[in-house]
Amino acid sequence: MTAHLSTDVSTLPDLLLRRAGELPDAPFLRHANARWTYGEFGHRVTQVAAGLREAGVGKGDVVGVILRNGPEYLEVWWGILWLGAVFNPVNPDLTGREAAGILSDSGATTVICTEEAAAALREHDLPALRRVITDILLPASLPSIVAGIRVGVSRGVVAVVVAELFGARAGLGYLIFISGQTFDVPALFVGIITLAIMGVGLTFAAELVERRALRWRRAVLVD
């Protein structure tokens, strides 16, 4: 079966976005240290782009890259393009003075490089340079952890209330149960409304934690 792939794209990030949607499970990269599908690579690129944006990189900024060829290089390269910044590759075999000259000429405001390259750059004056990034951490487990917290909060409240319905002599569940048995409508409504407020409050708290923990996951699209 032949897949019909769209060709009306104007940028490389747009092309990756289309292919990740059309061929999410098709192999994109095969390397000794990594095997990624189009969908996986697209997700990783958006993570890198979000991490760079969180660090202060914006559209049109020149980002120098001093790295060896490898899967990580591709992630950084496409992440920069996805963000709408300017990709400025620098040969990692150059001396610190040579690399600094290229970065100075390009007006790079950010450099992504190894610790060794960063140390060499510190010996040279680069007035436009605002940040040197030697690690881009992708907290891939955080979305699952946060999702587990949100599910656990709701189920935890339900479990406590159900337990109090049948095995307690105090608590919200006990109040709802006794009020229903004795037809104490005001007390029953108090219990139900309190339970609803608890649910809304805990859900809001979980969403607040998610927004703070996953700031890097904000939508990053090229304008």
Amino acid code (one letter) for 41:
F
DSSP-derived 3-state class of residue 123: coil
**pLDDT in the model for residue 218:** 43
pLDDT, mean over the chain: 82
**pLDDT in the model for residue 142:** 57
Query: 43 and 92: one domain?
Result: yes
222 pLDDT more than 60: no
Domain assignment of residue 35, yes or no? yes
Over residues 88-114, mean pLDDT = 95
Residue with tokens 């709701």: 154
Q: How far apart (Å, rounded) are the C-alpha atoms in residues 27 and 114?
A: 28
Query: 117 and 161: one domain?
Result: no
168 pLDDT more than 80: no
Highest average pLDDT, of 8-12, 27-31, 52-56, 58-62, comes from 58-62
Reference 87, options 105, 115, 112, 69; nearest CA is 112
Number of domains in the chain: 2
Tell me the pLDDT band of 145, cut-offs 50, 70 and 90. Answer: low
Return the CATH number at 19.
Answer: 3.40.50.980
Query: 42 and 109: one domain?
Result: yes
The whole model's pTM is what? Answer: 0.61
Q: Under 8 Å CB-to-CB from 176, ≥6 apart: which residues?
A: 161, 165, 188, 191, 192, 195
Domain assignment of residue 222, yes or no? no
Please say which residue of 106, 133, 160 terminates a domain: 133
Nearest 5°: CA angle at 21, between 15 and 25? 110
Query: 113 and 211: one domain?
Result: no
